[in-house]
Structures are given as structure tokens and as C-alpha cells.
Amino acid sequence: MSLRLVARWTLASLLLMIALLWLADRIWPLPLPRDDLARVVLAEDGTPLWRFADANGVWRYPVQTAEVSPYYLDALLTYEDRWFYQHPGVNPFALARATWQNLTGARVVSGGSTLSMQVARLLDPHSRTFHGKLRQLWRTAQLEWHLSKAEILNLYLNRAPFGGTLQGVAAASWAYLGKSPAQLTHAEAALLAVLPQAPSRLRPDRHPQRAQEARDKVLRRLGEFQVWPSSAVAEALEEPLLLAPRLEPSLAPLLARRLNRPDSPPLIRTTLDATLQRRLEDLLLGWRARLPEYTSAAILVVEEDSMAVRAYLGSVDINDAKRFGHVDMISALRSPGSTLKPFLYGMALDDGLIHSESLLQDVPRRYGDYRPGNFSMGFTGAVPASTALSSSLNLPAVQLLEAYGPKRFAAQMRIGGVPLALPALAEPNLALILGGAGSRLEDLVSGYSAFARDGRSATIRLQPDDTLKERPLLSPGSAWIVRRILSGQARPDRDPRAELVQRPVLAWKTGTSYGFRDAWAIGVGPRYLIGVWIGRPDGTPVPGQFGLASAAPLMLQVHDVLTNRDSQRGISAPVKPVPANVGVAAICWPLGQPMSRSDPNCRRQRFAWTLDNTTPPTLLALDQPLGVGLMESVWVNPKGLRVDAHCPGAQLKNIALWPAPLEPWLPRAERRDARLPAADPDCPPPALAASSPLSIVGVREGDQLRLPAASQQALRLKISALGGSGRRWWFLNGAPLGDSANQDSINASFEQLGRYQLSVLDEAGQTARIEFSVVD
């Protein structure tokens, strides 16, 4: 046979072999790992918080070669496969050596598998038979064809078994040693390098003596080949086998569930601080005994500058079924109670309705069918805006919302990133400010960020890649003033020229929803926002549970934890400069305007925070006429008696009077009758405006009146009006009913069953209104 023919047959055979190998590679493709939905949720520093195992219960922490300690790579390659980067996947010399050692030793002394062969067995497990070995060699060849050495090594780092349900060096490092694989010492690297040889027999948490002996064997091999200095090897041999408590990642389970989606990457990174998360979870578990049965709690901690979430506790304990621990109360829709009030006061400041010490009315009022009350069930009368907010009084807040507008308020909150949920087809009303809408803890905390971020609210960031989204909610000045009010710095120093406070302390607000269903406390600290919710996730009332008693103590404890952490780390509270348009003014009640303390109309002087050097006058209720209650112009004679304008020596005098609804809460010397000069009988003045609020007597609000027993007779009532001035005009269901002189009564007849509305109007423009029913 000629040489040319031999060459042709050789080439043909080679081509046929290549074709057969190509065909086999297509028929039996390399089973590379697919996404098996195993996930690890990480803190910002890479600490595993929670893991989602695959279908076999195995969890992994994927890493790249560059993320593993060089010590571990040295130990692994030296002990397992010194020629990894030189051989084509199979090391014939190692196979021959292992065969000779096993035959001469009459037992298995060593193996000849390379790292590539071990990866092949991990990807396609097989029996330890001749057929299985051929299968392993075939898979090894496929690995070397399709992947680079770096990719093969990376597969080993993430798929090697380390005992139990652990796969991969990173999962083992965190589980056994409590640290990142990038931080391994020489001894720890040697330990992890040898474990995959016999992961069950050498498992260090169960067989520490065996594991240490195997580790020391690796260390001596490294010293023998002079991979590490002899001093480093000797020191590592002296190091005892120290393991961290074997704990599966079990922090922030509800956040992990929230972020784990089918399209999530194997490593789900968050902004959480693992140390803080663990500290607060321990704190909340300690609080569980204080909480009523079936009650849960939630805590959210956000860094103000970056809006990164540092702690996320959606429930007391995810495993506590009685407390609905599986329900994430950070994202749940609940009634916010009074936590919306600071936003309203800030908007009212921006709108020029009030300054920080504006006179508001904490008095009973009825708005149609809505009759709000205070949590304390009492009323205080005249109250400054700052005290009304810090004391969370309801009536002043409703008065303020009535002036600002419920729809406008809800729209501004939505624009500012704090949407308020209402029932279908419902419109915002005055109940909104007392919790008559739905909100989420995360949205409220985002809204409160405006008080720390110069009036701009920002959405919380759960993951490092989340963008910072800001929206204007308040002006920097109003946000600064409201924050001072909530931090107990409501009034400037009594010297209006005193230096303004620039270093903030904790500002916080509580809230309680109707029926004691939700208790809230939200704090704005020097560096962190803190949100706390306590209640029953199923919405059942918990009598006696309210924000100040339930949620506030927990929030204050969280604040203490954060403050101590910053102190230990040498982090001081940032200085927040005072906005340029914030100033101080000395104002006087009841007018709410700047004036001299010696002015007779300055009944009480207060120092107020102001915006743009403006001091809005006292805000009156919408149903209170502007001409009644603030200033009365009278003519007085030289004796100080009130006279007609045409009387000899008459001079005009303006007298500041308190709003009429405040009369019952004022000292006698401050009431209208005491403030107005007595009339001169020789030259009497004309009648004045109402000296007291107008009210209806003879039938009470909400009465249910029965028709007389004889069905032919109508129900007759004698109804009178007290207070007010001049003539009265009466209306029944909006239709005129007649008029009466001062203090006179009218007689009304009712023949039909149903609901009635009775109202009266006096000459000064005051109105009074009640509703009652006539029944069988």
C-alpha cells in the first residue's frame, strides 16, 4: 500500500472520528447547570440573609474565582490537581500513579481524578463501574471542548459538595466559618479544600477530629511543595478548628420573599445591614411577650441620605402562624391614623394659612354627619398650631383640612409619593386627616423623608441598583419647621433674636386608627428614618392599644440602637442648616399678628417660626363669619364708655376679641362681655355683633322623636335659639320656617315620619344646625 493511500485512509479515519465525536456531542450534550431556582438573598456587604433551596433542598452561594481567597485556590489546586492548567482534562500520569498505589496497597490509597473529571461527575453522576468511568471520561472531554479552564474551575467552586445540603465553597464558608470565602485564613482554606473528598465523613460540625486531621494533611502537602512559607504552614497547623455556629441564612424572610421572582438572579442583593437586621430581629422577638395575642409588628429602618433600607422586619416571626407571621405588614394597606397630620401642617405653612403659633380652635364641631372628637375625649379651646400637632389634637387638624381642602390634600400627597387609598367611588373628605384612608408603612416612611430631605420625599430603596426617586412634597422651610415641632423644639427661644437650632434630634409622630386596629410610630432621626406598626393583621380591634403606648416605646428602642451604633463608630449627627426663608416673629393672640407686648390687643404673646417673614392672621372656621370674633370697632367717650359715633367726644377704638366658639374655655376677663366697654346710658351705642355662639335648644342632635299616640295629631315642638344677636331666620330642610326676635322661640309642627334638618341664622351671620328624626 502506497504512502499516499495510507495518508488518505488516516485522514479519512480522523475525519470520521471527528464527525462521530461531533455527532455524539450533539446526541449526548454536556448537561451544564440550568437555573434551578436556588437563590440567596444578600445584605449589602454580601452576608447571606435568606436562601431558597432547589428542588433537592440544596442551597448555593454562587461566586467567581476572583471572589475566593487565593489561599483556597492554592490549597485546592495543590492537593487535588497540580497540573490542572496543563492537562487536557485527564492526567495520565496521575491515573497511572493512582492505579499503582491502589494495587500495591490492596486498597484505595488515592484517586487519579482531575478537577475536570470531578466536575464531570458532579454534572452527570454515574456508578463506579467501568462503564461509569468511560461516561466520566466522555463528559470530561466535552467540558474541555466547550469550556475554558477558568469556567471549569468556577463550576467546581459552585457545585462541589461540602456536606449536608451545602454546595459550593461560598455556601460552606458562610455556613461553617461565618465569613466570606474571600477572607479565609491558611488553615480555613486547607479545611475547605479537603472537604469535598468525603463531605459526610469529614463534615467539621459533626466530625471535627477527622476534619482537622484531613486539613493538616493538606497543610503538610502545601509545605512539602513549598507553595506556602513554612512559617505560615506551621502557624496554620497550630490553629485549632474553630467553627461558627451552624446556622442557615434566616434573616429578613419577608423581604426575601418579596424580592424572589422567577426572573431573579441567583444572588439577590439588598441594601440591608445584616448586623442591624439581626439585632432588631432579636429585639422584636423579645417584644413578642409584651404584645397581645394574635398581634404582630413591623419595623422599617431607612438611611435618610441614600434612602437605602437598612432593616426590614415585616412581622414578629414568620413562623408564628397565630400572629399571621407570613403577612408582610410593611407593604400592607392600613389606616394611618394621625400620622398624616404633619404633612397637612407643612402644606398649611406653605399655603400661608398658619405660622407655627397660629391660634387654632380645639372645640366641638359638627360637619354634616361627621362629628370628630379628640382621643382624650376632651377639648382645650384655644391652642397654637405647634401644640395641636405635637399633641395630635383632632379638631384643629380637621379645621385646618377644611381650610386647605381634602381633595387638594389627597392630590398633593399623591404627587409627593404618598398615595392614599379610598374605597371605590369615594372622594376625600374631612375624615382623611384622622385616618379615613389607606396607606402603607413603606409609603409613610417615604413621605416622612421629606422632613429630613428639605421637603422632597423619596421612595425607599431595597436593592443597590434601585434608583433614587425624589418628589417635591413640602418647601424646605415648612419641612424644617414641622420637624422642629415634632422633635419638641416647637417654639423658638423666648428671645426672637436667639440662634436657631441646627442640629436635629429625634422627631416623631404616633397614630392610632379607628377602633384601636393600628398603632403607629414614625421617627425622623439625625441619620435614619424609623417606621413602626403594631396591630392584628386581620384588622381585629385591640382595645387599649394605641400609638403612644404600643408603637412609640418600640420605635424609641430602635432609635437607641441606631444612636449607640453611630456613637461606637464615631459617627456624629449631621448639621442641618436653617433654610434662609425661616425666621422668628413675636406674635400676639387672638389676632395672630406681630405687635408690641404693651398693645392692649396683645392678649398673649408667643414667638413663632415663620416663612418668608409672613405672619398669617388667625384662621377662622369656614362657617364662622369674618366680621365676628377677631376685631370689634367701637366708639368710646373720654370716660371709656361705649357710645354712639355721633356722641360728643366719641373716639374710634379697635378691640381684639377671641373667636366666639372659644368663649367657654376663656377666662372671664377675656370673654367678649368683659373685653367690651360698658355702654353709656346717656348716649347708647347701636347693637353689637353676637356676644356668644348661636345654638338651638328644645331638640338635641340625633334625637329620635315619636309621634303622639293619636295618629291624627302632629308632633309640636317649641324651639329656641340661644346666643347670637338680632333677628333669627329659621329653616327646616332648607325651606324657610319663619323668624323670631332675640331670645324668642318658634313653634314647629311635624306630621310626617323621617329625618329633619333644622337650622337658624342670625343678623351677624352665625348659623346653628341640628338633625333629628321623627319615628313611630
CB 193 within 8 A of CB 217: no
Question: How much is the pLDDT for 502?
Answer: 57
Question: How much is the pLDDT for 675?
Answer: 84
Q: 104-134 pLDDT, tens per residue?
A: 554 444 456 889 888 888 888 877 777 677 7
Q: 552-570 pLDDT, tens per residue?
A: 999 999 999 999 999 999 9
Is residue 364 pLDDT above 70, yes or no? yes
Question: How much is the pLDDT for 552?
Answer: 94
Alpha-carbon distances of 223 from 80, 115, 202, 251, rounded to whole Å:
15, 21, 22, 40
CB 534 within 8 A of CB 554: yes
My answer on whether omega of the bond before 590 falls inside 30° of 0, hence cis, is yes
Q: What proportions of the chain, in percent to the nearest 5, are helix, strand and coil?
A: 35, 20, 45
Set of cell numbers at residue 10: 488516516
Set of cell numbers at residue 220: 503538610
Marked catalytic residue, from 338, 550, 691, 725:
338
**CA-CA-CA-CA torsion for 669, 670, 672, 673, nearest 10 degrees?**
0
In this structure, are strands 39-42 and 267-269 parallel, antiparallel, or unpaired?
parallel
Phi-psi region of 99 (alpha: psi -120 to 50; beta: other; left: phi over 0): alpha
Average pLDDT over residues 395-402: 95
Active-site residue, 127 included: no
Per DSSP (E only), the strands in 638-742 are 642-643, 651-656, 695-697, 704-706, 715-722, 728-732, 735-740
Question: How much is the pLDDT for 659?
Answer: 86
pTM attached to this predicted model: 0.82
In this structure, are strands 704-706 and 767-775 parallel, antiparallel, or unpaired?
parallel
CA angle 473, 479, 482 (to 5 degrees): 125
CATH code of the region 695-775: 2.60.40.2550
Burial class of residue 104, CB neighbours in 10 A (0-12, 13-18, 19+): exposed
Q: 292-334 pLDDT, tens per residue?
A: 999 999 999 999 999 999 999 999 999 999 999 999 999 999 9
Q: 687-722 pLDDT, tens per residue?
A: 655 456 777 877 778 888 887 765 567 888 878 776
Average pLDDT over residues 424-451: 95
**Average pLDDT of every residue of the chain:** 86
Is residue 545 pLDDT above 60, yes or no? yes
CB 606 within 8 A of CB 384: yes
Q: Residue 379: pLDDT band by 50, 70, 90 thresholds?
A: confident
Is residue 499 pLDDT above 60, yes or no? no
Marked catalytic residue, from 69, 80, 281, 390:
80
Set of cell numbers at residue 469: 426617586
Average pLDDT over residues 172-196: 94
What is the domain class of 31-238 according to CATH? mainly alpha
Instruction: Order the strands of the 642-643 sheet from edge to edge.
Output: 642-643, 631-636, 651-656
Question: How much is the pLDDT for 627?
Answer: 42
Average pLDDT over residues 31-42: 83
Question: How much is the pLDDT for 107?
Answer: 46
Is residue 498 pLDDT above 50, yes or no? no
* Domain residue ranges in the chain: 1-30, 31-238, 582-611, 624-689, 695-775
Share of the chain above pLDDT 70, in %: 88
Is residue 500 pLDDT above 60, yes or no? no
Question: How much is the pLDDT for 424?
Answer: 87
Question: How much is the pLDDT for 690?
Answer: 46
Is residue 373 pLDDT above 60, yes or no? yes
> Could you tell me which residue, 419 or 758, shows the higher pLDDT?
419
Highest mean pLDDT among 223-227, 371-375, 703-707, 742-746: 223-227
Q: Give the residues across from 3 on adjacent strands.
A: none
Active-site residue, 338 included: yes
Burial class of residue 130, CB neighbours in 10 A (0-12, 13-18, 19+): exposed
695-775 and 31-238 share a CATH fold = no
Question: How much is the pLDDT for 742?
Answer: 44
Question: How much is the pLDDT for 210?
Answer: 93
Q: 572-621 pLDDT, tens per residue?
A: 888 888 899 999 999 999 999 999 999 999 999 999 999 999 999 999 87
Question: How much is the pLDDT for 176?
Answer: 92
CB 222 within 8 A of CB 78: yes
> Could you tell me which residue, 170 or 55, shows the higher pLDDT?
170
Burial class of residue 759, CB neighbours in 10 A (0-12, 13-18, 19+): middle
208-224 helix and 230-238 helix, angle to the nearest 10 degrees: 170
Q: 216-275 pLDDT, tens per residue?
A: 999 999 999 999 999 999 999 999 988 877 667 899 999 999 999 988 999 999 999 999
